[in-house]
Structure 1
Amino acid sequence: MPGHEASFELHDIDKDTALATSYQAMQNLNWPVKFATADTLLGNTAGGWRAGQQITIAVTGQQLTVASESGDNGSDTVNEKNTAAFIKAYQSAEKKMGRKTIAENLQAISILREFTTDNAIEEDQKNTATAEARRVPPAKILMTWLLIAANIGVFVAMLLNGATVFEKAGLNITYIDWGSNFSPLTLSGDWWRLASNIFVHFGVIHLGVNMYCLYMAGRCLEPLTGKVKLAGAYISAGVAGSIISLWWQEGLVNSAGAAPAIFGLYGVLLALLSMGLFPKLTRQPALQSFGIFVVYNVAYGLKSHVDHAGNIGGLLAGLIIGYIYVFALLREREGQRLLWITSLVLVITAGAAYAYLQQNEVPEIQRSRALKEAETLGFKDVEQFNTKLGEVAQMVDEAMAPLQDTALNSAALKVKISQTSFPMLAMATTNLQQMQRYDVPDKMKQKTALLLNYIQWRRKQLDLYNKMGEPGSADNFVPALKQINDSVSALMLQLQQL
């Protein structure tokens, strides 16, 4: 930073007179004096703190030092001119200083000293309060840490049960198993999914951003609201967001994440801010974290399926809850303890959830169909598998058709079996062997294995029909044919159950 200083001897002038004369010199230069201590004056040139230069006058023994400092864009030449101008003004004022002027200037300096002291104390208190706000003891935000631990614990458990670290939104049956807001299930009896889904996350990035914002919201709110109110707001806003998500979105919904609950906490925060109940020193970090949270959700939503309806629902619910908490907090400041307020919030939330679920109940058949579709989430070859499966079924039907043709005699049946049935079953076997390598759920792989076994029994069945066509041999093969038919029936039953 450019600057310049100059000193000169005072020649038996006491400190107070030197400071009074310096004060007068700055007045004559139209340089306002802003602060004062026992032996220093601090002011600036006419341009102000930003456009001008800072001027410091210090008296040490029988020496007076004047310093001029400017911003990064200033120059040493300007500062040299400032120090020279002050010395000239000092010398001029010194010749005209009378007792009255000295007394008036010392009175002005005394007032500045008081202001400087008060300002320093206020600044020190502000810094102390800010430091205390930043050092929130873990015990004061215990519920926040418990909620974070619960979210992380569920995520780790899901990883151990088939979820992946980086996951596309919900394309894995594990998320449904662990309680995501899967609409056919939520609306057909799994009411608990309205709350469980706010502890389920689609990948580590989804979890990480939400936990950071949960921590920022919790460290601001929990010291003010307490553990119970914070937990009540988290659950109630999360459930409200889940309901809004189901109501707003058409068709199949599979949503999860703590975002609606966290939006709810920020809704509570905004309500407390609007009523002046939030500490000033923690407003800025709270609003900054809220801004980061909103930007992330909007940006993330541009490239993936984000449940914005649920987020907005959680925010609005949080605002309502926040104003209810305002009522309670004001009463608590007057000495009243409204222990029932969180219970009231939870009861209202539960009542709204019950009413919505009753009015939008899904039939059991739709639930069963959705569960079967859900089992195929995240597997890339399901559609190709189903196409091939249809082809295999057609091949097997064509292979077995000659046995249903009563117009065929034994010789003609043998020809049909040899030229049509066996080739068709061979093609079906080849297709099934290819299907074994597809990326499909385990149940589909089990179906493939059963079908291969089924085709082997059908080949044995056709072989027997060939042999039964020989004169006098039919009765000998009846027991074997019955065994084959029983095995085929058992396999068909297993296939139907899949």
Structure 2
Amino acid sequence: MHRTQSATTNKQFYASPKSPLAKYRNSLWWWLVASWVFLIVISKKHEYGSLWLPIVFTYVVVAIFDSFLKRRLPYDQPIITLDDDGIESLLFAGAIKRHSWGELVEANVSKFKNMPFIQFRLQALVGVIDDSMTWTGINPARPVLPISSLSAEDQIELLEIINQRLGFAQSTSKSTGNSSASQSANNFATNPLAEEKAFHDQLEAYAPIAWITWLLIGVNVLVWIAMWHTGAKIEQTPPEQLLSWGGNTAFDVQRGEWWRMATAMFLHGSLIHLGINMAGLYVVGGVVERIYGHLPFTLIYLGSGLIGNGLSLYFGAQYAVSAGASGAVLGVTIALMVGMYQHRERLPKIFSKRRLSGIVLFVFYALLYGFINRGIDNAAHIGGMLTGCLLGLLLPERLDMESFKHRVKKHLIIGLSSTVIATTALVSMSPQATLNIKSELKNQALLVQGANSIFHELVLLDLDIVTFRRGQMSAAELNSKIKNTYLSGLKQAIQQLSEVRLAESDQRLQMLQEMKLSTALLVSIFELAPFQKPGSGKTQPTDLERATLIKDKLKAITARILHEGHKVRRL
């Protein structure tokens, strides 16, 4: 809100609860509480006692940050004051909190993380060096005034008054022969904040609620929650579960399961994977849906995901389970970039610059992360981006409503047909997959299960042997445990390992054979009659020295299997 001291020149502006900074502050606490609730829900009852540390730590961090934000939102006193002489504000960066109209040359509006600020430029005659290369990063010749504490209406009015006052001051300077001021006099003909608000109002009029975007986010989140309830971990969804829920693999798609290219778009490898994709969709999805319309946006999203997964059949899906909405989200992102480029003359400059920088950063990060991480299928990313680019060029935008109405139906049909044809062609011409990932995952599960069983039995056997050697367990007791417990466990593990089928070229084959042979040898030793060590006169259940050598070798092999076991997955 603002309060007026004088009808024409003197204005005082106050912080507003509707300002971007106030909304950001509120959302900060809502996200904190939501994260606490989520943490409690996913934790087991016996883990509740360990939650107090992360809860207290996050509360302290947010409270400290919130105290900084609160100082920028004093609702009981003016934060910016304008009068006939100049502008004054405690929010000015640096030591100087007041500047006269005569020393200001221009005012430019920009945004940092969606928070607007005004950067002024001082007259050269003031004698301040135009240099920001200081340890504070503050340029005294270009004072910065954050205005995120004001409501959108007050931001527009503030900039309007500043433009008028600077224009008047420069007109006065022009009459006195100041050419520098005269050259800058036309910089204030427009109000970029007003332009951006008008543009956002126009988008809101097209679609008050971007319901397709919210629907897609909701479906992705609900699918992940359902997978979590059936065994998925927060840090990683097992590849077997991704495959059973519809993950994309070349072997299965080429054998008729084409639907996997669609279902894979709604599966995610971890909570972080889901969060990154849904955050990206939240940021760009609503804008793209309003610019292109509900149906064209749906085509861009699904088409980018389908063709991205189709291209993945040539690369990642040949040897791994491919899943994730990254290709679809990147397609939507590129479509926004295409639309912005095509209508760059109509878009507010502050909007275009901020959105474009964010898009470039997001795309660069997605591709870079994909190239430096072996588990990421960049083919799906690239396929999604190419599709988003082509559909963005093909489909009309509602920024030119007359053209949109005449072209949208025809271009939707062309876009849908092209997507179906491209997807069909990608599947039909994809190289024949030789790796049956479903079978590979079954073998991997049996291998790990058998190795785990053996390792578990050997660890317990170690403890019993130590107890026996200390004289705390008799030979008869140890022999009974070996015969009735450990032998059956080891035989069951041998049965599990016998069902594993590995290719001759598989590096795990030698370890599997050694593990089976060593386990069988250990079983044969334990099945022998009680052993009397020569010269000792004492009877022990078996030849423990020989058994220990085999047991230690077997533990080393199982540890290697468990440590180096191949995991088929893609984030």
* TM-score calculated relative to the size of structure 1: 0.52
**What secondary structure is seen at the aligned counterpart in 1 of 2:124?**
coil
Change (3 A) 1:175 1:329: same
Please report how far the alpha carbon of residue 250 of structure 1 lies from its aligned counterpart in structure 2 after TM superposition. Answer: 8.0
Alignment equivalent of 2:490, drawn from 428, 431, 434: 434
3-state DSSP class of the match of 1:159? helix
Contact kept? 1:220, 1:286, Cα under 8 Å: no
Q: Structure 2 CA distance, aligned partners of 1:328 and 1:43?
A: 38
Show the 5 A alignment for 1:51-90: 51=129
* Residue aligned with 1:339, SS: helix
1:313-392 to structure 2, matched below 5 A, reads 313-326=383-396, 332-333=402-403, 335-360=405-430, 370-376=437-443, 381-382=448-449, 384=451
Percent same amino acid at aligned positions? 21
Contact 1:385 1:435 in 2 (8 A): no
| Aligned residue in 2 for 1:143 | 212
Distance change in 2, residues 1:436/1:321 (3 Å): same
Distance of 2:104 and 2:430 partners within structure 1:
73
User: Is 1:215 matched up with 2:278?
Assistant: no
The corresponding residue for 1:279 is 347
> How many Å apart are 1:206 and its aligned residue?
0.2
Bigger Rg over Cα: 1
> Aligned equivalents of 1:107 and 1:45: distance in 2?
13
Q: How far 1:108 moved relative to its partner?
A: 4.1
Matched, 1:183 2:250: yes
For residue 167 of structure 1, what is the aligned residue in structure 2? 236
Name the aligned partner's letter for residue 256 of structure 2.
Answer: G
1:237 pairs with 2:308: no
User: Counterpart of 1:279 in 2: which secondary structure?
Assistant: coil
Call closer, same or farther: CA 1:354–1:429 in 2, change over 3 Å.
farther
Instruction: Please report how far the alpha carbon of residue 244 of structure 1 lies from its aligned counterpart in structure 2 after TM superposition.
Output: 1.1
Q: Alpha-carbon deviation of 1:48?
A: 7.1
1:156 corresponds to? 225
Structure 2, gaps ≥5 residues long: 1-84, 86-101, 107-119, 132-137, 142-170, 456-481, 501-571
Instruction: Note if 1:46 corresponds to 2:124.
Output: yes
Aligned partner of 1:262 in structure 2 is 329
Matching residue's letter, 1:162: G
Post-superposition offset of 1:264: 0.8
1:299 aligns with 2:380: no
Alignment RMSD? 4.7
CA shift at 1:153, angstroms?
1.2
Q: Cα deviations across residues 313-338 of structure 1 (Å, max 9, x unaligned)?
A: 11111111111014897584375153
CA distance in structure 2 between the partners assigned to 1:246 and 1:159 by the alignment: 27
Compared CA separation, residues 43 and 246, structure 1 to 2 (3 A): closer
Is this contact kept in 2: 1:140–1:222, CA < 8 A? no
Separation of aligned partners in 1, 2:312 and 2:121:
60
Q: Secondary structure at the match of 2:313?
A: helix
Structure-2 change in CA distance of 1:128 and 1:269 (3 Å): closer
Contact 1:376 1:382 (8 Å CA) reproduced: no
Question: In the aligned structure 1, how far is the partner of 2:396 from the partner of 2:404?
Answer: 13
Q: 1:292 to 1:44 in 2, by over 3 A?
A: closer
**3-state DSSP of counterpart to 2:246:** coil
Distance in 1, Cα, partners of 2:337 & 2:173: 49
> Taking structure 1 as reference, are residues 430 and 298 closer, same or farther at Cα in structure 2, changes over 3 Å only?
same
Superposition pairs for residues 89-128 of structure 1, below 5 Å?
108=175, 119=188, 122-123=191-192, 125-126=194-195, 128=197
Letter in 1 for 2:290: P
Q: CA deviation at 1:246?
A: 1.0
Contact 1:213 1:293 in 2 (8 A): no
Counterpart CA distance in 1 for 2:126 and 2:248 is: 60
State the one-letter code of the partner of 1:145.
W
- The DSSP-based 3-state class of the residue aligned with 2:224 is helix
Report 1:194-209 matches (<5 A).
194-209=261-276
Go from structure 1 to structure 2 and tell me whether the alpha carbon gap of 1:351 and 1:274 turns closer, same or farther (over 3 Å shift). same
Change (3 A) 1:377 1:242: farther
Partner of 2:458: none
Question: Which structure 1 residue ranges, 5 or more long, are not aligned?
Answer: 1-18, 20-30, 36-41, 54-70, 75-103, 389-425, 445-498
Q: CA deviation at 1:193?
A: 1.0
Q: Deviations over 1:28-70 (max 9, x none)?
A: xxx88858xxxxxx995435797379xxxxxxxxxxxxxxxxx
Aligned counterparts of 1:361 and 1:386: Cα–Cα separation in 2 = 39
The verdict on how the C-alpha distance between 1:274 and 1:33 changes in structure 2, with shifts beyond 3 A counting, is closer
Query: 2:268 & 2:208 partners in 1: Cα distance?
Result: 26
Q: Letter of the aligned partner of 1:199 in structure 2?
A: F
- 1:172–1:378 CA contact under 8 A, matched in 2: no
Relative distance call for 1:429 and 1:251 in structure 2 (3 A) is farther
- Range with greater deviation from structure 2 (137-146 or 239-248): 137-146
| 1:401-480 map, 5 Å | 430=486, 432-434=488-490
TM-score by length of 2: 0.46
Paired with 1:43 and 1:268, the residues of 2 have a C-alpha distance of 36
Task: Give the Cα separation in 2 of the matches to 1:322 and 1:264.
Answer: 9
Matches of 2:424 and 2:103, distance apart in 1: 69
Higher helix proportion: 1
The range that moved more, 128-137 or 317-326, is 128-137
Q: Is the 8 A contact 2:303 2:419 kept in 1?
A: yes
Q: The residue matched to 1:338 in structure 2 has which SS?
A: helix
What is the one-letter code of the residue matched to 2:311?
A: I
Structure 2 residue aligned with 1:12: none
The amino acid of 2:234's aligned partner reads V
Give yes or no for contact 2:235–2:272 (8 Å, CA) kept in 1.
yes
Seen in structure 2, the aligned counterparts of structure 1 residues 303 and 34 have a Cα distance that, compared at 3 Å, is closer
Contact 1:240–1:314 at 8 Å: present in 2 too? yes
Cα distance change of structure 1 residues 322 and 124 upon mapping to structure 2, 3 Å threshold: closer
